[in-house]
Chains A and B, each alone.
Chain A
């Protein structure tokens, strides 16, 4: 089954304690992305990656890091989490290039982070 898998689904942690949210896709997609969803603000793009070892900032990258060492994985790293990073996070992937056409993004089921 084609899917985007995020872990953990829920996490409560404290300010300053480094955490990583993993994201994995099994569709051989080149493009992967992270979003956060906040009330009244919709989904905002944090980082995206066009392919292995290629990452770029989205609209709200401050306080986050990403890496793309393998095509299937795109972890989101919070080196020193703060309460304003409490949010619902989504990972997404899509195929790019002429053989994919105009493909929509496929989303994971979300990770709810609470930073105390």
Chain B
């Protein structure tokens, strides 16, 4: 059973606008959440993370929001750039195990 879900397989956004990628989870024991970005023929690369004791973390154009009561995580990219076009995975940690979502393919249109 998928404990981390990304319900939007794809998203298209105009360059300069905001991209919002969403992730839902079911396990209340998750204590650390991460977003990874993946280009074709490469491994995922780390983007940004957030601890379960926080509700927001910012790093440049990327902000992650955590709503624990709703068990919902989102990644905001502002402004979106063509180079942001990739597949984005959210992930969550419980103990020593990591659980990943199915990914959202983001296309930023110039």
Contact = CB atoms under 8 A, between A and B. Distances in A.
Interface of A: 4, 31, 33, 35, 40-45, 48, 50, 56, 58-59, 90, 92, 102, 104-110
Given A43-B89, A48-B96, A102-B51, A90 B101 contact: no
A107 B102 CA distance: 17
B97 A110 contact: no
Most B CB within 10 A of own CB, among A35, A90, A105: A105
Interface residues of B, number: 24
Interface string B34-60: 101000011111100101000000000
B97 A48 contact: yes
B100 A43 contact: yes
A40 B51 CA distance: 27
Contacts of A59: 97, 99
A50 to B, nearest CB: 6
